[in-house]
Amino acid sequence: MEARSVDAIPRGKEWQYEPKWDGFRCLLSRAGSSIDLRSKSGEGLARYFPEIVAAAQKLRADGFTLDGEIVVPLGKAFSFDALLQRIHPAASRVKKLSEATPALYLVFDLLATAREKHLANEPLGKRRLALEAFAKANLRGSTFRLSPATMSYVTAKKWLAQAGGGSDGVIAKRVDLSYQAGNRDGMQKIKEFRSADCVVGGFRYATNKLSGRKVVGSLLLGLYDDAGLLHHVGFTSAIKAEEKPALTDRLEALIGEPGFSGSAPGGPSRWSTDRSAKWCPLKPELVIEVCYDHFSGERFRHGTSILRWRPDKAPRQCSFEQLKQKVADPMKLLKQK
């Protein structure tokens, strides 16, 4: 069951609202002692989260299928970086991480039990009641948490306004529909987009040339900390093709060390290529306003889009301070009744 992106929270008695968690979507199934964790793309996840497998084997119920999200708590937030580190080929590394930063499984749907093998065919309203009863009887301990749900539009708006720290929006689901596997008819997702003024601390050339010349492919964004250090916080590649030649000329005239005086774009990793590690540092003179949906771990979680250049802004005004917001504590959200 997938979600359709929309601009506003839908209203009506047919909608149930839930926090949108920033983790790995996962179907968890148990048949006797056999546990299967399956990603949205159909890939197996069990080997990367042995602590969830072990916890699932200890539950009282020995036959069920759950829909939920895998997250890794770190401090008062959920860390997507810590989650990504689990996708590692070495079992010893995965085991060490599972002990140092154990994951949680946040449950928001029940698709089958030993008695009701076709619960997914029932409307969400009935499935939610069954899930709450299942959770009360089985989901005790520290690994499984029941994700909150509400029929209140006001509560959903509050969750959206406080998105951050592991919750990056709101999910709206039709209570009158069965589990809509493979389509987006029964679920919508709403994110709160925000803007930030950033220093362009560097850039990367595009892979392909334009009219025979190298042109910019992406801008590397930076923010200043309280000590005056410029840290790399993300990128934007939403540059119109017709603007790239002139922008490249402008950027090349500003090439100079160090670009970022704090944290800088890293070298090659298991997620990057050799090309993605190559970048040109710039003198910190250009300021750009970008639109983003989520900021955590001192960087933008996804790519950003360009709103406008800000020649009226001094680079030193581009600080982390502008991104501070009151966000919901994800662990407190999970404790709501």
Using H for helix, E for strand and C for coil, what is the string for the chain? CCCEECCCCCCCCCEEEEEEECCEEEEEEEECCEEEEEECCCCECHHHCHHHHHHHHCCCCCEEEEEEEEECEECCEECHHHHHHCCCCCHHHHHHHHHHCCCEEEEEEEEEECCCCCHHHCCHHHHHHHHHHHHHHHCCCCCEEECCCECCHHHHHHHHHCCECCEEEEEEEECCCCCCCCCCCCEEEECCCEEEEEEEEEEEECCCCECCECCEEEEEEEEECCCCCEEEEEEECCCCHHHHHHHHHHHHCCECCCCCCCCCCCCCCCCCCCHHHCCEEECCCCEEEEEECCEECCEECCCEEEEEECCCCCHHHCEHHHHCCCCCCHHHHHCCC
Is residue 337 packed enough to be buried (19+ CB in 10 Å), middle (13-18) or exposed (0-12)?
Answer: exposed
Question: Looking at residue 336, what is its pLDDT?
Answer: 66
138: tokens are: 């089985």
CA distances from 4 to 36, 182, 187, 211 (A): 27, 12, 6, 38
236: tokens are: 């934007």
Question: Looking at residue 312, what is its pLDDT?
Answer: 82
- For residue 120, report the phi and psi dihedrals to the nearest 5 degrees: -60, -20
Whether pLDDT at 134 is above 60: yes
pLDDT in tens, 202-229: 999 999 999 999 999 999 999 999 999 9
pLDDT in tens, 80-106: 889 989 999 999 999 999 999 999 999
The distance from CA 18 to its chain's CA centroid, rounded to whole angstroms, is: 15
Task: Tell me the sheet residues that pair with 113.
Answer: 64
> Where does the pLDDT of residue 294 fall: very low under 50, low under 70, confident under 90, or very high at 90 and above?
confident
Examine the residue annotation and report whether 332 is marked as an active-site residue of this protein. no
The residue from 13, 20, 40, 96 that is catalytic is 20
Give dist(CA 292, CA 306) in Å, integer.
9
Question: Looking at residue 334, what is its pLDDT?
Answer: 85
Answer yes or no: are the C-beta atoms of 265 and 277 closer than 8 Å.
Answer: yes
Give dist(CA 19, CA 3) in Å, integer.
13
160: tokens are: 């959206």
Nearby residues of 39 by Cβ (< 8 Å), 6 or more positions away: 24, 25, 26, 45
Question: Which of the pair, 150 or 5, is modelled with greater confidence?
Answer: 150
Question: Which of the pair, 54 or 22, is modelled with greater confidence?
Answer: 54
Whether pLDDT at 20 is above 70: yes
Whether pLDDT at 185 is above 50: yes
Question: Looking at residue 81, what is its pLDDT?
Answer: 85
pLDDT in tens, 267-289: 443 334 444 458 999 999 999 99
**Lowest mean pLDDT, pick from 112-116, 146-150, 297-301:** 297-301
Give dist(CA 16, CA 8) in Å, integer.
14
Percent of the chain scoring above 90 in pLDDT: 75
14: tokens are: 């047919």
198: tokens are: 């950033």
Say what the pTM is: 0.77
